[in-house]
Each structure stands twice: as C-alpha cells, then as structure tokens.
Structure 1
C-alpha cells in the first residue's frame, strides 16, 4: 500500500475553550482551516471542563479532544480516579490523555500531588493505549526519573508538548520512544538554546503546536495566539531543520496520526467553500 501523503498541517495542542478563543471559536477554527491547518487537538486541563472540550470535537469533524488534569490543577482536582480518566477516554473523539506532568516553575500545586496526578495519567495512558501528553517546566530530573520508572513498569506512548527544556530531557524522551512538540517559543530571538536542541530532534519524533491562546510565534508576538499561527512555527522549524516546507508538513502530520492512532485512517480535513 502506498504511504499516504499529507498536504495539510496539524495543530497538535490548542485550548479552544479558553478565554481569547472561545468568544469567537467558530471564526478561529475557520481561520485555521483557511490557513492550511487540517486538524486540531483540543486539550483538556480540568476534568470539570472535559464536557466543553469534548463538545468542540463533537461539533467539528477536524477537531479531536483529550482528557486530563494539568499539574496546576492537581490540588483543585485531587481525587480523580484512573477510572474517571478511562471512562472519558473511551469517547470516540477523545484520543489522548492529558495534559499532565510537572510544573516546578509556578508550583501552583504541591509537588507530591503533581506526581500522583502524573502517575495516574500515565496509568490511564498505558491501560487505554492512548498517548500521554506531558507538560514539564523546571522539572527535568523528576520528569525523566518518573517517565523512566513508569516505562519500566509497562510501555506507553507519549508526547512532550511545548518543549522548552534541556537537551538532556529531549535525549531521554527520544530514547524512551516519546515524541516532542515545538511551539511558537522556538521562533523567539531569545530561544537560541532551544533552537539548537530542536536541530537534534529526529524528524520522525517531531510535531508542532500553538498552545493557543498562548505563545504566539513571530510575527504575531503580542497577539492572542490561535491555531492558524502553527503555520508560522512550522515554516520556522522547517528552515531550522533544513527541510522543505511541504516535506515538513507531510512528516509532522504523519507523525501526529501515527502517535494519535485512535483517529481513523479515513480522516479528511474539512472541505472549504
């Protein structure tokens, strides 16, 4: 069978239910489609908001959802059982677990609670077969140690989203078979170290995202970020990697569907009038 070639790109991480996007959600999604974004992954960060995120996916054939509790929310939603994640993960348009992980920069939740939350999500990912989406900031050592310990108990797939961490974390995650997603931060003039790390990430492990409504890439700095802007990040990273843009689009989109493989092979982007 001939390998499918993709002529669109995916925003692998956006928050379509967040302030700044939700007010004109339909227009935001339409602008993304017209920019060449064929698929968007709407990320859940509070279990109490899962129904809102799922509804966006149900109402748009090119939007999928995840289920998860952000490390910032680990204290606010501390008693979520693995079964609660798995129940929601069974929905046909819920294709990933997270975002979850560790954030020691803000420490909005006690670190021990963040770790419990992270482990529960990994367990749900392992059981469901869906990839875990990892947020990590200023927590490289604990993130590596936890991922390695959990991987030793049973393999699971995963993605480090909005990667800004060390070369050491990138290398460790790639060695574990995980993928890495790059946001608009890579386009910032101050991101020289990150740009050097991006150059080392194998193309078959690379995805791109916006993390909208945050982190608008150059040339949109200062604006509310939206999924359409993933094209600017993709062009920048393609140049950084020395890859033709059409090849970059094809590879990263293929990587997305290989990782989030619950999405049916017959997926097609929305046809525009």
Structure 2
C-alpha cells in the first residue's frame, strides 16, 4: 500500500487523463494522496480534488516561485481554504535559490515567513520546498519552534537532515533516491529514523527509475519504497507500514 505525501494532480500534465489516472491509482494500492498547492489557483484546485476523491487530501500554499504574489488577500484566502476539513497542511512553501528566474531572495523569505506564521496561528503542519537554500531554510524554520512539517524532496546533507530532525521535521524522499548519482540522498535515507521518513512523488515530476523521464504518478512510489528498503535492509512491508503511519500522524489523518 502507498500514501503519496506530495503530489500535484492539478498540474496541466494530467489535463487529458486525470480521472483515468486517479482511478488507476486506487486500483494499484494507493490509499492516500496529499495534493499540494503551489499557487492560489493550485491551492483551490487541490481543495477541489480533495472534495471529489475520497482518498485525496489537500495542502494550500504559495510556492517560492510565486512569492511576489503573497499579500494580505492571498493569505486571507489560504486561511479560508484551510477551514475545509480535508486541508491538512500549509504548503508547498519555502525557498528556491536555483537559477535566476525566481523572485529575489528577500521576497521569498518574507513570503515564507508569512506562511509559517499562518501555519503557527492555525496549528497546522507545513510542507517545505528547499532548493539550494538549506541555510536560510533552517534559519527560518528555527524561528517557528511550534510549527512542524516535512522537508519535501530532501536534497541536503546528512548534517542538515539531522538539524531538521532535531526540530521535529520529517524528511520526504522522491524518485531522486533511485537515481545513480544520488549518493547524498542515499546516505540520508540510511540514517533518517524510520518514524520520520515520508515517501512522495512530486508528480508529474521526478519519476523514479525505471520510469525516469516519464510523467510521474503515485503508484510509482513502489520503486522508491523498494530502493529504500534495500538501502536500509528492512522488509518492504515494514517500510510501507511506517511511511503510511508517519504520513497519517504528521497530517492528522
């Protein structure tokens, strides 16, 4: 069984076959999906998906790519959306310092802090996007000690992972752990306590080997689970049960 802790089925990659794919997921042992908002519209769409499909849940938030859009009105709408019973987190929020196309770093940090404040007020967990921004991500999450969540698609060092774990965070693993050059992620997957480990697709992105390059989907998590069970030398069933339990615990499902 599989619980995908981070997906984007609102993405246009699924616009021609969304219903069919979601139907197939259930047939293939997917018992839960957290669909994460990346924009205001994405947050609305995530809530809509959660209301339509019984095994879908939603997270609402603004990705750092859209940090310059975060204002009082947007935060007010996120707060309203979060009142729906199947909204389980504020996310995906955070920092993305990769390339030159994203908003300025100070704008990203401001948007990140505002959404962390919202999560603190609502007593909700967060789903954090951190790309090439480990130092600033750690600094900001330390400012909100009462907020817990997951560092999604973890890409940092083992030292960074240890710091996040100390703060009560979970570590999310995507298909990257199956890639040949993923030495750092493999090391982290070995060390993260079993009760703090989540699996996710970030679909339609980052499909695991042997489907690398294809449109990702939640039933492909079986390849992530198989890889981590080998890395840790534990039974696949043990890992499946732990990741489902962890996802339900973090998101109060």
- SS in structure 2 at match of 1:210: coil
Unmatched 5+ stretches in structure 2: none
Is there any run of 5+ residues in structure 1 with no aligned partner, and where? 1-7, 264-273
User: Structure 2 CA distance, aligned partners of 1:40 and 1:137?
Assistant: 23
CA distance in 2: counterparts of 1:208 and 1:249, whole angstroms: 9
**Cα distance in 2 between the residues matched to 1:69 and 1:207:** 21
| Conservation of the 8 A alpha-carbon contact between 2:70 and 2:111 | no
- Give distance in 2, aligned partners of 1:36 and 1:159: 23
Given the alignment, which residue of 95, 109, 112 partners 2:106? 112
Moved more, 72-81 or 156-165: 72-81
Please state how far the C-alpha of 1:77 moved relative to its aligned partner.
4.1
Q: Deviations over 1:199-254 (max 9, x none)?
A: 11111000000000000000101211111111111111121111211111101100
Using a 3 Å threshold, how does the CA distance of structure 1 residues 23 and 77 change in structure 2: closer, same or farther? Answer: farther
Superposed counterparts of 1:124-203, under 5 Å: 124-151=118-145, 155-203=146-194
Q: Hey, what does 1:123 align to over in structure 2?
A: 117
Do 1:12 and 1:207's aligned partners in 2 also have CA atoms closer than 8 Å? yes
Corresponding residue SS for 2:49: helix
Q: Partner of 1:211 in structure 2?
A: 202
Q: Is the 8 A contact 1:13 1:40 kept in 2?
A: yes
- The correspondence of residues 48-127 of structure 1 with structure 2, limited to 5 A, is 48-80=41-73, 82-107=75-100, 108-127=102-121
Greater RCO (CA < 8 Å, at least 6 residues apart): 1
Which secondary structure does the structure 2 equivalent of 1:160 belong to? strand
Q: Specify which of 5, 13, 18 is matched with residue 20 of structure 1.
A: 13
Where does residue 249 of structure 1 map in the other structure?
240
What TM-score does the superposition give when structure 1 sets the normalisation length? 0.89
The separation in 1 between residues aligned to 2:72 and 2:120, in whole angstroms, is 20
- Contact 1:28–1:227, Cα closer than 8 Å, also in 2: no
Q: RMSD over aligned Cα, in angstroms?
A: 1.4
Contact 2:2 / 2:244 at 8 angstroms: preserved in 1? yes
TM-score by length of 2: 0.95
